[in-house]
Amino acid sequence: MRPFLAIVFLALISCNKQTNLGADYSKLANIPTKEQVGHLVLPDTIAPVVAPFDMPNFEKPTFPDRTINIQERTENATIITSVVQNAIDELSALGGGKVIIPKGEWLTGRISLKSNVNLHIAEGAIVKFSTDVKEYQPAVFTRVESMEVMSLAACIYANNQENIAITGKGKLIGPFDGEIKERSYHTPIESLVDLSKPANERVHDGSVEDWIFPPKFISPVNCKKVYIEGVSLENTAFWNIVPVYCDNVIIRGVSVNSVGIPRGDGIDIESSKNVLIEYCTLSTGDDAFTMKSGRGEDGLNVNRATENVVVRHCLALKGHGGITCGSETAGGIKNLYVHDCVFDGTGVGIRFKTRRPRGGGGENLYYDRIRMNLEATCIKWDMLGTRAYVGELADRLPAREVNDLTPYYKNISISNIIIENGTHFLKVYGIPESPLSNLTIDNVDAHCSNLIFINDAKNVTIKNTNIKTPDSVVDILGGENINYENLVLSTKKSALTMPNEPIETKGIHFSNGEVK
Protein backbone atom coordinates (compact mmCIF):
# COMPACT_ATOMS: atom_id res chain seq x y z
CA MET A 1 0.00 0.00 0.00
CA ARG A 2 1.26 3.49 -0.85
CA PRO A 3 2.22 5.75 2.08
CA PHE A 4 -0.27 7.92 0.21
CA LEU A 5 -1.71 11.25 -0.35
CA ALA A 6 -5.15 11.79 -1.78
CA ILE A 7 -5.90 15.50 -1.85
CA VAL A 8 -8.97 17.20 -3.13
CA PHE A 9 -9.65 20.85 -3.30
CA LEU A 10 -13.25 21.66 -2.42
CA ALA A 11 -13.27 23.41 0.94
CA LEU A 12 -9.58 24.18 0.73
CA ILE A 13 -9.59 26.66 -2.12
CA SER A 14 -13.14 27.54 -3.00
CA CYS A 15 -13.27 30.08 -0.23
CA ASN A 16 -10.89 32.41 -2.09
CA LYS A 17 -13.45 34.34 -4.11
CA GLN A 18 -11.49 36.48 -6.52
CA THR A 19 -11.79 37.66 -10.07
CA ASN A 20 -9.37 36.73 -12.86
CA LEU A 21 -8.77 33.27 -11.44
CA GLY A 22 -7.12 30.57 -13.49
CA ALA A 23 -5.62 30.88 -16.96
CA ASP A 24 -5.11 34.11 -18.83
CA TYR A 25 -7.00 33.30 -22.01
CA SER A 26 -5.61 36.29 -23.85
CA LYS A 27 -2.23 34.53 -23.89
CA LEU A 28 -3.83 31.35 -25.24
CA ALA A 29 -5.89 32.96 -27.99
CA ASN A 30 -3.37 32.62 -30.81
CA ILE A 31 -1.82 29.26 -30.04
CA PRO A 32 -1.74 27.56 -33.46
CA THR A 33 -4.09 24.84 -34.66
CA LYS A 34 -2.90 21.82 -36.61
CA GLU A 35 -3.74 23.52 -39.90
CA GLN A 36 -1.25 26.27 -39.08
CA VAL A 37 1.81 24.09 -38.44
CA GLY A 38 3.67 21.25 -40.13
CA HIS A 39 5.19 20.64 -43.55
CA LEU A 40 2.21 21.81 -45.59
CA VAL A 41 2.68 25.43 -44.49
CA LEU A 42 6.48 25.61 -44.78
CA PRO A 43 7.56 29.17 -45.66
CA ASP A 44 10.37 29.85 -48.10
CA THR A 45 12.48 31.77 -45.61
CA ILE A 46 13.87 30.95 -42.17
CA ALA A 47 12.63 33.46 -39.62
CA PRO A 48 15.05 34.64 -36.91
CA VAL A 49 15.18 32.40 -33.86
CA VAL A 50 14.21 33.92 -30.54
CA ALA A 51 14.89 31.64 -27.59
CA PRO A 52 15.55 31.83 -23.81
CA PHE A 53 19.23 31.14 -24.57
CA ASP A 54 21.70 32.21 -27.24
CA MET A 55 21.27 30.62 -30.66
CA PRO A 56 23.16 31.11 -33.94
CA ASN A 57 21.72 32.86 -36.97
CA PHE A 58 20.36 30.05 -39.14
CA GLU A 59 20.57 30.46 -42.92
CA LYS A 60 19.93 28.23 -45.91
CA PRO A 61 23.16 26.78 -47.29
CA THR A 62 24.61 27.66 -50.67
CA PHE A 63 26.34 25.35 -53.13
CA PRO A 64 28.44 25.85 -56.25
CA ASP A 65 26.57 26.01 -59.56
CA ARG A 66 27.34 22.48 -60.68
CA THR A 67 24.65 19.88 -61.26
CA ILE A 68 24.56 16.18 -62.06
CA ASN A 69 21.21 14.62 -62.92
CA ILE A 70 21.58 10.89 -62.37
CA GLN A 71 19.04 10.26 -65.16
CA GLU A 72 21.87 11.00 -67.60
CA ARG A 73 24.10 8.29 -66.10
CA THR A 74 21.83 5.41 -65.16
CA GLU A 75 21.79 3.57 -68.54
CA ASN A 76 18.85 1.49 -67.35
CA ALA A 77 20.62 0.41 -64.17
CA THR A 78 18.41 -1.65 -61.86
CA ILE A 79 20.01 -0.13 -58.76
CA ILE A 80 21.50 3.34 -58.69
CA THR A 81 23.76 3.17 -55.62
CA SER A 82 27.05 3.55 -57.49
CA VAL A 83 25.65 6.14 -59.89
CA VAL A 84 24.52 8.41 -57.07
CA GLN A 85 27.65 7.85 -55.02
CA ASN A 86 29.97 8.55 -57.92
CA ALA A 87 28.12 11.78 -58.66
CA ILE A 88 28.38 12.89 -55.01
CA ASP A 89 32.10 12.04 -54.88
CA GLU A 90 32.79 13.82 -58.15
CA LEU A 91 31.05 17.04 -57.21
CA SER A 92 32.56 17.12 -53.73
CA ALA A 93 36.06 16.73 -55.20
CA LEU A 94 35.36 19.69 -57.48
CA GLY A 95 34.21 21.86 -54.57
CA GLY A 96 30.53 20.95 -54.47
CA GLY A 97 27.22 21.15 -56.29
CA LYS A 98 23.82 19.45 -56.61
CA VAL A 99 23.05 15.81 -57.38
CA ILE A 100 19.49 15.42 -58.66
CA ILE A 101 17.43 12.26 -58.44
CA PRO A 102 14.62 13.12 -60.84
CA LYS A 103 10.99 12.08 -61.10
CA GLY A 104 10.57 8.32 -61.31
CA GLU A 105 11.03 5.22 -59.16
CA TRP A 106 14.56 4.31 -58.12
CA LEU A 107 16.24 1.59 -56.06
CA THR A 108 19.43 2.20 -54.10
CA GLY A 109 21.59 1.02 -51.25
CA ARG A 110 23.46 3.21 -48.78
CA ILE A 111 24.33 6.72 -49.97
CA SER A 112 27.17 8.63 -48.28
CA LEU A 113 26.96 12.41 -48.49
CA LYS A 114 30.12 14.46 -48.94
CA SER A 115 31.01 18.07 -48.18
CA ASN A 116 29.39 20.87 -50.19
CA VAL A 117 26.90 18.58 -51.93
CA ASN A 118 23.11 18.94 -52.01
CA LEU A 119 21.32 15.66 -52.70
CA HIS A 120 18.08 16.81 -54.29
CA ILE A 121 15.13 14.41 -54.42
CA ALA A 122 12.90 15.99 -57.04
CA GLU A 123 9.14 16.16 -56.74
CA GLY A 124 7.71 12.94 -58.14
CA ALA A 125 10.85 10.94 -57.32
CA ILE A 126 10.37 7.78 -55.25
CA VAL A 127 13.65 6.44 -53.89
CA LYS A 128 13.39 2.96 -52.43
CA PHE A 129 16.18 1.61 -50.27
CA SER A 130 17.23 -1.99 -50.74
CA THR A 131 16.31 -4.70 -48.24
CA ASP A 132 19.61 -6.49 -48.96
CA VAL A 133 21.90 -6.14 -45.93
CA LYS A 134 24.95 -6.23 -48.21
CA GLU A 135 23.90 -2.87 -49.64
CA TYR A 136 24.69 -1.29 -46.23
CA GLN A 137 28.02 -3.02 -45.60
CA PRO A 138 30.81 -2.64 -44.71
CA ALA A 139 30.19 -1.35 -41.22
CA VAL A 140 30.77 2.35 -40.54
CA PHE A 141 30.95 4.36 -37.33
CA THR A 142 27.65 5.28 -35.76
CA ARG A 143 25.60 5.15 -32.61
CA VAL A 144 22.89 2.55 -32.04
CA GLU A 145 20.48 3.36 -29.22
CA SER A 146 23.01 5.99 -28.18
CA MET A 147 25.96 3.59 -27.91
CA GLU A 148 28.98 3.80 -30.23
CA VAL A 149 29.41 0.86 -32.63
CA MET A 150 30.54 -0.04 -36.13
CA SER A 151 27.33 -0.97 -37.87
CA LEU A 152 25.08 -0.48 -40.90
CA ALA A 153 24.60 3.16 -39.83
CA ALA A 154 22.02 4.73 -42.14
CA CYS A 155 20.45 4.61 -45.59
CA ILE A 156 21.76 8.14 -46.13
CA TYR A 157 24.96 8.60 -44.13
CA ALA A 158 27.77 11.11 -43.72
CA ASN A 159 30.79 11.29 -41.43
CA ASN A 160 33.08 14.28 -40.85
CA GLN A 161 31.53 16.33 -43.67
CA GLU A 162 30.56 20.00 -43.82
CA ASN A 163 27.84 21.92 -45.66
CA ILE A 164 25.67 19.01 -46.76
CA ALA A 165 22.00 18.97 -47.70
CA ILE A 166 19.08 16.72 -48.58
CA THR A 167 16.33 18.71 -50.29
CA GLY A 168 13.35 18.36 -52.60
CA LYS A 169 9.75 17.21 -52.44
CA GLY A 170 10.41 13.60 -53.34
CA LYS A 171 9.71 10.51 -51.27
CA LEU A 172 12.18 8.17 -49.56
CA ILE A 173 11.00 4.65 -48.73
CA GLY A 174 13.00 2.62 -46.23
CA PRO A 175 13.82 -1.09 -46.07
CA PHE A 176 11.51 -2.21 -43.27
CA ASP A 177 10.07 -5.75 -43.58
CA GLY A 178 12.64 -7.09 -45.98
CA GLU A 179 15.81 -8.99 -45.14
CA ILE A 180 16.58 -6.17 -42.71
CA LYS A 181 15.76 -8.20 -39.61
CA GLU A 182 16.60 -6.50 -36.35
CA ARG A 183 17.65 -8.12 -33.14
CA SER A 184 15.05 -8.71 -30.42
CA TYR A 185 14.53 -5.65 -28.23
CA HIS A 186 13.74 -7.91 -25.32
CA THR A 187 17.53 -8.18 -25.03
CA PRO A 188 19.10 -4.95 -23.71
CA ILE A 189 21.79 -3.59 -26.01
CA GLU A 190 24.32 -3.58 -23.16
CA SER A 191 24.36 -7.40 -23.31
CA LEU A 192 25.14 -7.36 -27.04
CA VAL A 193 27.89 -4.71 -27.27
CA ASP A 194 31.25 -5.35 -25.58
CA LEU A 195 32.00 -2.02 -23.94
CA SER A 196 35.48 -3.20 -22.94
CA LYS A 197 36.48 -2.79 -26.59
CA PRO A 198 37.06 0.56 -28.30
CA ALA A 199 34.21 1.67 -30.53
CA ASN A 200 36.03 0.76 -33.76
CA GLU A 201 36.17 -2.88 -32.63
CA ARG A 202 32.49 -3.18 -31.74
CA VAL A 203 31.49 -4.48 -35.16
CA HIS A 204 27.88 -5.56 -35.66
CA ASP A 205 26.92 -5.53 -39.34
CA GLY A 206 25.23 -8.90 -39.91
CA SER A 207 28.39 -10.61 -41.16
CA VAL A 208 28.79 -12.72 -38.01
CA GLU A 209 25.58 -12.64 -35.97
CA ASP A 210 22.24 -13.88 -37.26
CA TRP A 211 20.78 -10.45 -36.43
CA ILE A 212 21.63 -6.83 -37.14
CA PHE A 213 21.18 -3.40 -35.73
CA PRO A 214 18.98 -2.07 -38.55
CA PRO A 215 20.11 1.10 -40.32
CA LYS A 216 18.61 4.46 -39.45
CA PHE A 217 17.12 6.37 -42.34
CA ILE A 218 19.15 9.62 -42.46
CA SER A 219 22.04 10.04 -40.03
CA PRO A 220 24.97 12.43 -40.45
CA VAL A 221 27.74 11.90 -37.88
CA ASN A 222 30.40 14.45 -36.83
CA CYS A 223 29.13 16.90 -39.44
CA LYS A 224 28.81 20.70 -39.53
CA LYS A 225 26.16 22.70 -41.38
CA VAL A 226 23.56 20.02 -42.10
CA TYR A 227 20.40 21.03 -43.98
CA ILE A 228 17.38 18.76 -44.57
CA GLU A 229 14.25 20.21 -46.21
CA GLY A 230 11.07 19.06 -47.85
CA VAL A 231 11.50 15.31 -48.27
CA SER A 232 9.01 12.74 -47.01
CA LEU A 233 10.10 9.50 -45.35
CA GLU A 234 8.22 6.27 -44.79
CA ASN A 235 8.85 2.61 -43.99
CA THR A 236 12.06 3.15 -42.05
CA ALA A 237 13.86 0.17 -40.53
CA PHE A 238 14.75 2.14 -37.40
CA TRP A 239 14.91 5.81 -36.31
CA ASN A 240 14.27 8.26 -39.14
CA ILE A 241 16.37 11.46 -38.97
CA VAL A 242 19.25 11.27 -36.49
CA PRO A 243 22.08 13.82 -36.45
CA VAL A 244 24.88 12.45 -34.23
CA TYR A 245 27.68 14.72 -32.91
CA CYS A 246 26.65 17.45 -35.36
CA ASP A 247 26.80 21.24 -35.12
CA ASN A 248 24.48 23.68 -36.89
CA VAL A 249 21.62 21.50 -38.10
CA ILE A 250 18.44 22.70 -39.83
CA ILE A 251 15.54 20.29 -40.40
CA ARG A 252 12.48 21.90 -41.98
CA GLY A 253 9.40 20.92 -43.91
CA VAL A 254 9.97 17.19 -43.51
CA SER A 255 7.16 14.65 -43.20
CA VAL A 256 7.57 11.20 -41.67
CA ASN A 257 5.24 8.21 -41.54
CA SER A 258 6.47 5.24 -39.51
CA VAL A 259 3.21 4.19 -37.86
CA GLY A 260 3.31 0.49 -37.04
CA ILE A 261 7.11 0.33 -36.90
CA PRO A 262 8.03 -0.33 -33.24
CA ARG A 263 11.29 1.68 -33.22
CA GLY A 264 10.22 4.22 -35.79
CA ASP A 265 11.21 7.44 -33.99
CA GLY A 266 10.67 10.54 -36.09
CA ILE A 267 13.54 12.96 -35.43
CA ASP A 268 16.19 12.12 -32.82
CA ILE A 269 18.77 14.79 -32.01
CA GLU A 270 21.73 12.82 -30.68
CA SER A 271 24.51 14.69 -28.81
CA SER A 272 24.29 17.56 -31.28
CA LYS A 273 24.11 21.32 -30.81
CA ASN A 274 22.72 24.45 -32.45
CA VAL A 275 19.72 22.75 -34.04
CA LEU A 276 16.57 24.21 -35.59
CA ILE A 277 13.58 21.98 -36.36
CA GLU A 278 10.59 23.73 -37.92
CA TYR A 279 7.43 23.03 -39.90
CA CYS A 280 7.81 19.25 -39.76
CA THR A 281 4.99 16.69 -39.59
CA LEU A 282 5.67 13.40 -37.84
CA SER A 283 3.42 10.37 -37.50
CA THR A 284 5.46 7.63 -35.92
CA GLY A 285 5.60 4.16 -34.42
CA ASP A 286 7.55 5.47 -31.42
CA ASP A 287 8.43 8.96 -30.16
CA ALA A 288 8.02 11.86 -32.58
CA PHE A 289 10.48 14.69 -31.73
CA THR A 290 13.18 13.30 -29.42
CA MET A 291 16.36 14.50 -27.69
CA LYS A 292 19.07 11.98 -26.78
CA SER A 293 22.70 12.24 -25.64
CA GLY A 294 24.28 8.85 -24.96
CA ARG A 295 23.55 5.80 -22.91
CA GLY A 296 25.09 4.65 -19.63
CA GLU A 297 28.84 4.33 -19.24
CA ASP A 298 29.49 4.64 -22.96
CA GLY A 299 27.56 7.92 -23.07
CA LEU A 300 29.34 9.23 -19.97
CA ASN A 301 32.72 8.50 -21.54
CA VAL A 302 31.78 10.41 -24.69
CA ASN A 303 30.17 13.18 -22.60
CA ARG A 304 28.59 15.20 -25.41
CA ALA A 305 25.35 17.04 -24.70
CA THR A 306 22.41 17.77 -26.90
CA GLU A 307 22.11 21.52 -26.45
CA ASN A 308 20.74 24.67 -27.99
CA VAL A 309 17.79 23.14 -29.83
CA VAL A 310 14.65 24.94 -31.02
CA VAL A 311 11.56 23.07 -32.23
CA ARG A 312 8.85 25.34 -33.63
CA HIS A 313 5.72 25.25 -35.82
CA CYS A 314 5.76 21.45 -35.90
CA LEU A 315 2.97 18.86 -35.90
CA ALA A 316 3.07 15.47 -34.18
CA LEU A 317 0.27 13.08 -35.04
CA LYS A 318 0.56 9.44 -34.01
CA GLY A 319 3.49 8.65 -31.72
CA HIS A 320 4.35 7.58 -28.19
CA GLY A 321 5.42 11.10 -27.27
CA GLY A 322 4.96 14.45 -29.00
CA ILE A 323 8.23 15.89 -27.68
CA THR A 324 10.45 13.56 -25.66
CA CYS A 325 13.72 13.86 -23.78
CA GLY A 326 15.52 10.55 -23.29
CA SER A 327 15.63 7.90 -22.22
CA GLU A 328 19.30 8.08 -23.26
CA THR A 329 20.54 11.21 -21.46
CA ALA A 330 24.15 10.51 -20.39
CA GLY A 331 25.71 13.59 -21.99
CA GLY A 332 22.90 15.84 -20.82
CA ILE A 333 20.07 17.62 -22.63
CA LYS A 334 20.38 21.37 -22.15
CA ASN A 335 18.75 24.45 -23.59
CA LEU A 336 15.74 23.05 -25.43
CA TYR A 337 12.94 25.40 -26.52
CA VAL A 338 9.75 23.98 -28.02
CA HIS A 339 7.10 26.48 -29.06
CA ASP A 340 4.08 26.97 -31.29
CA CYS A 341 3.59 23.26 -31.91
CA VAL A 342 0.56 20.96 -32.07
CA PHE A 343 0.32 17.36 -30.89
CA ASP A 344 -2.85 15.83 -32.31
CA GLY A 345 -3.63 12.17 -31.66
CA THR A 346 -0.27 11.58 -29.96
CA GLY A 347 0.07 9.33 -26.90
CA VAL A 348 1.88 11.43 -24.27
CA GLY A 349 2.28 15.14 -25.01
CA ILE A 350 5.42 16.41 -23.25
CA ARG A 351 7.47 13.40 -22.21
CA PHE A 352 10.65 12.90 -20.17
CA LYS A 353 12.40 9.55 -19.78
CA THR A 354 15.57 8.27 -18.21
CA ARG A 355 16.71 5.35 -16.07
CA ARG A 356 18.98 4.89 -13.04
CA PRO A 357 21.80 3.30 -15.08
CA ARG A 358 21.58 5.78 -17.97
CA GLY A 359 23.34 8.80 -16.40
CA GLY A 360 23.15 12.48 -17.33
CA GLY A 361 19.74 14.13 -17.45
CA GLY A 362 18.10 17.33 -18.64
CA GLU A 363 17.98 20.98 -17.56
CA ASN A 364 16.90 24.38 -18.84
CA LEU A 365 14.05 22.96 -20.90
CA TYR A 366 11.30 25.34 -22.09
CA TYR A 367 7.89 24.56 -23.60
CA ASP A 368 5.57 27.36 -24.68
CA ARG A 369 2.44 27.83 -26.78
CA ILE A 370 1.54 24.20 -27.45
CA ARG A 371 -1.84 22.69 -28.31
CA MET A 372 -2.41 19.04 -27.37
CA ASN A 373 -5.14 16.52 -28.18
CA LEU A 374 -3.83 13.30 -26.68
CA GLU A 375 -4.57 9.65 -26.11
CA ALA A 376 -2.64 9.46 -22.83
CA THR A 377 -0.87 11.63 -20.22
CA CYS A 378 -0.41 15.33 -20.93
CA ILE A 379 2.93 15.90 -19.15
CA LYS A 380 4.90 12.89 -17.94
CA TRP A 381 8.19 11.92 -16.32
CA ASP A 382 9.26 8.27 -16.27
CA MET A 383 12.68 8.13 -14.61
CA LEU A 384 12.60 4.49 -13.46
CA GLY A 385 11.64 2.34 -16.43
CA THR A 386 10.74 -1.33 -16.10
CA ARG A 387 12.42 -4.44 -14.76
CA ALA A 388 12.49 -5.90 -18.27
CA TYR A 389 15.29 -3.44 -19.15
CA VAL A 390 16.99 -2.37 -15.91
CA GLY A 391 16.08 -5.11 -13.43
CA GLU A 392 15.47 -4.13 -9.81
CA LEU A 393 16.77 -0.62 -10.49
CA ALA A 394 13.26 0.05 -11.79
CA ASP A 395 11.95 -0.35 -8.23
CA ARG A 396 11.41 2.99 -6.54
CA LEU A 397 12.78 1.80 -3.19
CA PRO A 398 15.22 1.38 -1.68
CA ALA A 399 16.78 4.70 -2.60
CA ARG A 400 20.21 4.12 -4.09
CA GLU A 401 23.45 5.95 -3.46
CA VAL A 402 23.92 8.75 -5.97
CA ASN A 403 26.68 7.98 -8.48
CA ASP A 404 27.76 8.92 -12.01
CA LEU A 405 24.91 6.91 -13.50
CA THR A 406 22.20 8.66 -11.47
CA PRO A 407 20.22 10.87 -13.88
CA TYR A 408 18.33 14.07 -13.10
CA TYR A 409 15.79 16.49 -14.54
CA LYS A 410 15.66 20.09 -13.32
CA ASN A 411 14.81 23.67 -14.26
CA ILE A 412 11.86 23.11 -16.56
CA SER A 413 9.27 25.67 -17.66
CA ILE A 414 5.96 24.74 -19.34
CA SER A 415 3.71 27.67 -20.20
CA ASN A 416 0.74 28.74 -22.30
CA ILE A 417 -0.67 25.31 -23.08
CA ILE A 418 -4.07 24.22 -24.39
CA ILE A 419 -4.94 20.61 -23.61
CA GLU A 420 -8.05 19.64 -25.54
CA ASN A 421 -8.00 16.05 -24.32
CA GLY A 422 -5.79 13.76 -22.24
CA THR A 423 -5.70 11.39 -19.30
CA HIS A 424 -3.57 12.61 -16.36
CA PHE A 425 -2.75 16.30 -16.44
CA LEU A 426 0.62 15.57 -14.80
CA LYS A 427 2.28 12.27 -13.95
CA VAL A 428 5.73 12.07 -12.37
CA TYR A 429 7.64 8.89 -11.63
CA GLY A 430 10.79 10.41 -10.20
CA ILE A 431 13.79 8.88 -8.46
CA PRO A 432 13.86 9.16 -4.63
CA GLU A 433 17.59 9.96 -4.55
CA SER A 434 17.31 12.32 -7.54
CA PRO A 435 13.82 13.83 -7.64
CA LEU A 436 12.52 15.99 -10.44
CA SER A 437 13.42 19.55 -9.38
CA ASN A 438 12.27 23.05 -10.18
CA LEU A 439 9.28 22.58 -12.45
CA THR A 440 6.92 25.45 -13.25
CA ILE A 441 3.67 24.96 -15.16
CA ASP A 442 2.01 28.30 -15.91
CA ASN A 443 -1.11 29.37 -17.78
CA VAL A 444 -2.81 26.19 -18.95
CA ASP A 445 -6.34 25.41 -20.00
CA ALA A 446 -6.81 21.64 -19.72
CA HIS A 447 -9.54 19.08 -20.30
CA CYS A 448 -8.40 15.71 -18.99
CA SER A 449 -9.80 12.62 -17.31
CA ASN A 450 -7.40 12.61 -14.33
CA LEU A 451 -5.57 15.16 -12.23
CA ILE A 452 -2.08 14.85 -10.77
CA PHE A 453 0.17 11.98 -9.71
CA ILE A 454 3.63 12.81 -8.32
CA ASN A 455 6.30 10.47 -7.02
CA ASP A 456 9.54 12.15 -5.95
CA ALA A 457 9.62 15.78 -7.00
CA LYS A 458 10.49 19.04 -5.30
CA ASN A 459 9.91 22.70 -5.99
CA VAL A 460 6.95 22.17 -8.30
CA THR A 461 4.60 25.07 -9.03
CA ILE A 462 1.35 24.86 -10.99
CA LYS A 463 -0.22 28.28 -11.40
CA ASN A 464 -2.73 30.30 -13.42
CA THR A 465 -4.32 27.09 -14.65
CA ASN A 466 -7.81 25.78 -15.35
CA ILE A 467 -8.34 22.02 -15.22
CA LYS A 468 -11.66 20.54 -16.24
CA THR A 469 -11.90 16.90 -15.15
CA PRO A 470 -14.26 14.38 -13.56
CA ASP A 471 -11.39 13.47 -11.22
CA SER A 472 -10.56 15.23 -7.96
CA VAL A 473 -7.54 13.39 -6.58
CA VAL A 474 -3.97 14.60 -6.46
CA ASP A 475 -1.66 11.79 -5.41
CA ILE A 476 1.75 12.82 -4.04
CA LEU A 477 4.50 10.64 -2.60
CA GLY A 478 8.00 11.87 -1.85
CA GLY A 479 7.07 15.44 -2.73
CA GLU A 480 8.61 18.59 -1.31
CA ASN A 481 7.44 22.15 -1.75
CA ILE A 482 4.54 21.49 -4.12
CA ASN A 483 2.70 24.73 -4.86
CA TYR A 484 -0.69 25.42 -6.43
CA GLU A 485 -1.30 29.07 -7.21
CA ASN A 486 -4.41 30.48 -8.83
CA LEU A 487 -5.71 27.05 -9.82
CA VAL A 488 -9.31 26.63 -10.94
CA LEU A 489 -10.60 23.06 -10.79
CA SER A 490 -13.87 22.12 -12.47
CA THR A 491 -14.88 18.69 -11.24
CA LYS A 492 -18.06 16.66 -10.92
CA LYS A 493 -17.09 15.36 -7.49
CA SER A 494 -17.71 17.16 -4.22
CA ALA A 495 -17.77 16.81 -0.44
CA LEU A 496 -14.18 15.59 -0.33
CA THR A 497 -11.71 16.31 2.43
CA MET A 498 -8.05 17.03 2.90
CA PRO A 499 -6.19 14.32 4.86
CA ASN A 500 -3.25 14.85 7.15
CA GLU A 501 0.22 15.59 5.81
CA PRO A 502 1.50 12.28 4.40
CA ILE A 503 4.65 10.31 5.00
CA GLU A 504 7.56 11.32 2.75
CA THR A 505 5.94 14.57 1.64
CA LYS A 506 6.80 18.04 2.94
CA GLY A 507 5.07 21.26 2.13
CA ILE A 508 1.98 21.38 -0.07
CA HIS A 509 0.70 24.92 -0.52
CA PHE A 510 -2.47 26.37 -2.04
CA SER A 511 -3.26 29.99 -2.73
CA ASN A 512 -5.98 31.75 -4.69
CA GLY A 513 -8.05 28.96 -6.18
CA GLU A 514 -11.55 27.80 -6.83
CA VAL A 515 -13.51 24.59 -7.27
CA LYS A 516 -16.55 24.73 -9.51
Spatial neighbors of 74 by CB under 8 A, at least 6 apart, are 80, 83
Selection from 348, 493, 337 nearest residue 429 by Cα: 348
pLDDT at 510: 74
Q: CA triplet 146, 152, 158: central angle to 5 degrees?
A: 80
**Sheet with 216-221, edge to edge strand ranges:** 111-112, 154-159, 216-221
241 close to 268: Cβ distance less than 8 angstroms? yes
pLDDT at 210: 80
pLDDT at 14: 45
Per residue in 28-67, pLDDT (tens digit) is: 999 999 999 999 999 999 999 999 999 999 999 999 999 9
Residue 170: C-alpha distances to residues 116, 120, 280 (Å): 21, 8, 15
pLDDT at 500: 45
Q: How far apart are CA 126 and CA 134, in angstroms?
A: 21
pLDDT at 186: 61
Q: How far apart are CA 383 and CA 381, in angstroms?
A: 6
Identify the segments of the chain with pLDDT beneath 70: 1-19, 178-186, 492-505, 515
pLDDT at 189: 85
pLDDT at 511: 78
H or E segment at 373? Answer: strand 361-374
- Residues 310, 313, 319, 320: is their CA dihedral positive or negative? positive
344 close to 317: Cβ distance less than 8 angstroms? yes
55 close to 308: Cβ distance less than 8 angstroms? yes
Per residue in 389-436, pLDDT (tens digit) is: 899 999 999 999 999 999 999 999 999 999 999 999 999 999 999 999
314 close to 241: Cβ distance less than 8 angstroms? no
- Cis amide bond preceding 470, omega within 30: no
Query: Domains (ranges, CATH) in the chain?
Result: 42-221 (2.160.20.10)
336 close to 291: Cβ distance less than 8 angstroms? yes
Selection from 365, 340, 338 nearest residue 353 by Cα: 365
**What is the number of alpha carbons within 13 Å of residue 232 lying toward its C-beta?**
16
Q: How far apart are CA 495 and CA 158, in angstroms?
A: 63
Ordered DSSP codes for 293-305: ---HHHHHHH---
Give rounded-to-5 percent helix, strand, coil for the chain.
10, 45, 45
pLDDT at 503: 54
Residue type, 407: P
Q: How far apart are CA 484 and CA 513, in angstroms?
A: 8
